[in-house]
Amino acid sequence: GDSVTQMEGPVTLSEEAFLTINCTYTATGYPSLFWYVQYPGEGLQLLLKATKADDKGSNKGFEATYRKETTSFHLEKGSVQVSDSAVYFCALSDEGSARQLTFGSGTQLTVLP
Amino acid sequence: DAGVIQSPRHEVTEMGQEVTLRCKPISGHNSLFWYRQTMMRGLELLIYFNNNVPIDDSGMPEDRFSAKMPNASFSTLKIQPSEPRDSAVYFCASRTNGGSYEQYFGPGTRLTVT
């Protein structure tokens, strides 16, 4: 079955540091890949997505590239801000799972001023 | 555009009481999902509707939980009777059936059962 493995947290960084959160996946078909962000007390928000190999999703300074050869979709940001503090979830949607979302366990990011 | 709307945002109830959570999906979306989030178990899919029909309810924990979608713009998740272990944040999400199949989440209902 489908699965998503993401870097365990919590991750603590200083403002303006470089961020990488690793995400690898297993899927039976050709999945779409997503990063969702959850701010404290809120629901999950779609941060970015990629639908095919070598696509790069980007939003709000965050980027992730769909790497089929390594089955990865790592999230990066060049300079984090305090306001980026949140939980980040990697997810996939695959025909094999009837296009439901399969989520990773989430990574808590705290950015200190 | 209005996103997914959930009510109430917070619910505190006593064990044994009936609880009803409500969701209005994004207009035009075909599928609706109910999730539960806890620290211990993370994010769990409870049930999934497509065109108002329940497709997969394998995540519903037990018979105390039931969900309905009487029309395309409204769904309920009911717990009867409620127990302290049901305390969690319950999310509703919706999507269209096409494209990249991303889901859009509501703000959640925080349920506390005492």
Best interface-test mutation with A: which of B100, B105, B109 has the largest number of A CBs within 10 A? Answer: B100
DSSP of A19-76, one letter per residue? EEE-EEEE-SS--EEEEEEE-TTS-EEEEEEE-STT-EEEETTEEEE-BTTTTB--EE
Q: pLDDT 10s per residue in chain B (114 long)?
A: 689 999 999 999 999 999 999 999 999 999 999 999 999 999 999 999 999 999 999 999 889 999 999 999 999 999 999 999 999 999 999 999 887 889 999 999 999 999
- pLDDT of A29 > 90? The answer is no
- pLDDT of A108 > 80? The answer is yes
- Whether B106 sits inside 8 A of A101 (CB atoms) is no
Calculate the alpha carbon distances from B37 to A57, A68, A83 in Å.
26, 30, 23
B93 neighbors B105 (Cβ within 8 angstroms): yes
pLDDT in tens, A48-71: 999 999 999 999 999 999 999 999
- pLDDT of A9 > 90? The answer is no
Q: What chain B residue is nearest to A97 in terms of C-alpha separation?
A: B56
A42 to chain B, closest Cα gap in Å: 5
Q: Would you state the pLDDT for residue B34?
A: 98
- Whether B108 sits inside 8 A of A103 (CB atoms) is no
Return the higher-pLDDT residue of A30 and A11.
A11
Beta bridge partners of B93: B33, B105
Interface residues of A toward B, Cβ cutoff 8 Å, are 32, 34, 36, 42-46, 49, 51, 89, 93, 98-101, 103, 105-106
Q: What is the mean pLDDT of residues A74-78?
A: 98
- pLDDT of A6 > 70? The answer is yes
